[in-house]
Amino acid sequence: MSPKTLEQNPLIKLESLGQSIWLDYIHKNILNSGELRRMIEEDGLSGLTSNPAIFEKAIAEGDDYDEAIQQLALASKTTEEIYRSLVVSDIQEAADLLRPVYEQSEGKDGYVSLEVSPKYALDAYQTIKEGRVLWQMVNRPNLMLKVPGTQACLPAIRQLAHAGINVNVTLLFSLERYCEVAWAYLAGLEDRVAHSLPIDRTVSVASFFLSRIDVLVDSRLEKKMHPGDPQNDVARMLHGQTAISSAKVAYQIFHEIFKGERFQKLKELGAVPQRLLWASTSTKNQFESDIKYVDALIGPQTINTLPLKTFNAYRDHGNPALRLQDDLAHAQQVMEQLAEVGININYITHQLEEEGIQKFVEPFDKLMRTIEAKRVAGKGTP
C-alpha cells in the first residue's frame, strides 16, 4: 500500500480528536536510524513508554549495546551501573527527540517513561529513593517515572508529585485503585501548593492495562459458553467486553474527579489533569480486530501507548472517531453482569496486579543476567 499523506494518516487524526499517541517500545535502532524522529514528525507521535521487558529484548537481541557494555565493563562498572548507564542514555536521547513536542505543548505532552525497578512495587520508600536517583540521572523535564499503582506505592505517587517529579502510574486494572491513584496525585499537588511550589509543570498519567483483563475474564466466560449452561447467553454477550467497558467507566470517573471542586482549585494555579493512558493495547484474541483497543477508546484528554506492531497497524487501517463515551449504559451493564456469571471483578483485578508485577520482575531479572553475561565477556573474564 502506498504511504499515506499527513491528512490521510489515522494516527494524525487522533491528535485532532484530543488523544495523544505514544509508542510502547524503545530500541537503539529506532534512535540511530532516525525512525523515532520520523514517527514524531510524520505520525504525530507525542510520547514513549518503556519497561524492563522492552529493554531486556532490546539488549539481548543483536549487538547494538555490546560495545557500550564492553567499554563500561573495562571501566570496572557493576552490572547495575551498566544497566542504568544504557537505559539512561536511551531515555535521554528519546527525551531530546521529543523535547520540541514538550515545549510546543507547554509541558502537556512529549514525555518518555522509565520504569522504577519493579522489585519495589510493594515498597514506597525504595520506590521514592530510586525514583529520585533516576530523575537526577536522566535530568530531563519531559521524563516520567513509571511507578506501579499498588496500594503500597500510593504514598510514593504522592511524594514524587510533591517533589515535582512526573509520574506514570502503571499496572492499573481496578477502578477503585484508579480513584486512589488520582487522589494521591492531587494530594501531591496540594503538598506543593502548601510549600509555595509551582504545579504547572508537574504532570502525571494513570495507565490502565486493557488486554490482560479480557484474557483472564474471557477464559472464565468460555467455560460457560456452551449449550445447556444456564449462563451461556450472558457469557457470550460479555465475552471480549470487560476491558473496554472498564475503560469507559474509568473515563467517567476521570471527569468526575477532574471537574470537581478539589481539582478546580489546583487548576486555577496551573495544574493539569492526570490523563488516562490506555496500555496493553495489543489484541491477544486472533479472531478480534488488531486495533480493537485503539478504535474503541478515542476521547479527549487521553493517551494510547501502542506496541510497534499495533502502531503500524493503526497507521494502515485505523478508523478514528470519538467513541469513548458511546454506549456508557452498556459499559455499566457489562461491569454489573459479571457478578451474575460468577466473576468477581475485584478478585480478577487483584490477581492481574500481582501477575503484572511478576511479569515485570522476571524480565528485569533476566535483563540483569543478560547484562552480567555481556559484562563478563566484555572484560575478557573466563
Find the distance separating the first CA and the last CA of the chain, reported in whole Å: 51
Single-letter amino acid code for the residue at 348: I
Q: Are 175 and 209 a contacting pair, CB within 8 Å?
A: no
How many alpha carbons fall within 13 Å on the CB side of residue 153? Answer: 34
Tell whether the torsion through CA atoms of 123, 277, 285 and 323 is positive or negative: positive
Nearest to 172 by CA among 278, 252, 275: 278
Q: Are 258 and 273 a contacting pair, CB within 8 Å?
A: yes
Single-letter amino acid code for the residue at 199: I
Q: Which residues are identified as catalytic?
A: 146
Residue in the block written with cell 460479555: 238
Kind and range of the H or E run holding 168: strand 167-172
Give 243's contacts (C-beta < 8 A, 6+ positions apart).
210, 211, 213, 214, 217, 293
Kind and range of the H or E run holding 378: helix 345-379
Backbone phi, then psi, for 306, in 5-degree steps? -110, 135
Length of the chain measured in residues: 382
Q: Could you give the 3-state DSSP secondary structure of residue 144? A: strand
Packed helices 211-221 and 242-258: angle between N→C axes, nearest 10 degrees: 130
